[in-house]
A and B are shown apart, each in its own frame.
Chain A
Amino acid sequence: MIGTYDLVVALLSVAISLGMVGVCLRQKIFRRYLFINLYILVSAAHTLGTLYFIHYYGYRSLTYFYFYYTGDAVGSMIGYLLIASFFDKLLRDSVFRPYIRPTLGIFFIMVVGISALFVWRNYSTLYSSFLIELQQNMFFVGVLLTFLLWLSMNYLHAESRRFVLLVSGLGIYFSAHAANYALQFLSSGLKNALTMVPPLAYTLMVALWLYTFWRVPEGEAAMESVPRPQESLVKVKILSE
């Protein structure tokens, strides 16, 4: 059985997810944000599935293990498509646009290939090892691509506040996981407490996305442009001369 905390967080995440999809449907932007909605729906179904499997098969059962990680792998792939769609949106007017989709497609095939290569010798537990390896790789891919997305967003001065908040949600999610992972190295005594963080990080991300779709209008500017101080411009001019 799972504890009250896990149950509350799981049900809360499902409620917020469905709320977010409901807001998107009401505003008729479901298709425009297809991948984010698909990701949320798959995650919500996965969460409900975990509760079902824990109830009928037990938390430590192998059936639950396989269900969780297979569903997680599917969700990670849709998450990858979501990050790719953000890149596509951000670099729409850039010279790099025709390169985004093929690059991310080739990269994904390489990641799956690397994951398969690492576990190839482990025949007896091939499927489960592959799932764990793939999930780990997808985690690092997520961290890496979100970081690159954030850098590009700052460099290209993303204009839409809604877009910035959606990317920030991903940032919160992945940075919480990374911090959690790092803390596991530092203190093994905190391990039980740290297992509570990933579902909470996911719930916070979905809550931020719900807020974004609910309260932030589509065309709202990310920030007002800050004029460069005259003094620094003069300094640059002097140095260049």
Chain B
Amino acid sequence: MRIRSFLGNKSSMGVLGKMRRLLVCLLFSLLLVCSLIGLKNVVAQAGSDTPVVLAIGGGPPPPIPDLGH
């Protein structure tokens, strides 16, 4: 209920409401970015510098040349 009252609804949005919405979006984004960096650090601490290969198609990923990773 508190979350709902803090977020407000779309119809009651003035300048303050828009700023509040932007602030909430920024906070959510920062939370996601921190989770991303945390996840990457956990993987890095596991002991490998090998970049992960995410295949979007069915083709074989090429070998990665040494790029200083």
Contacts and interface: CB of A to CB of B under 8 A. Distances in A.
| Chain B interface residue number, banded | 35 or more
SS class, residues of chain A in contact with chain B: helix
Nearest to A10: B58
B14 interface: no
Contacts of A76: 54, 56
Could you say which interface size class chain A belongs to? 35 or more
A102 B25 contact: yes
Given A125-B68, A132-B64, A47 B59 contact: yes
Given A136-B51, A139-B52, A107 B29 contact: yes
A203 B58 contact: yes
A21 to B, nearest CB: 14
Interface in B8-53: 9-10, 21-22, 24-26, 28-30, 32-33, 35-37, 39-40, 43, 46-48, 50-53
A75 B60 CA distance: 15
A60 B62 contact: yes
A169 interface: no
Contact of A128 (B33, B57, B65): B65
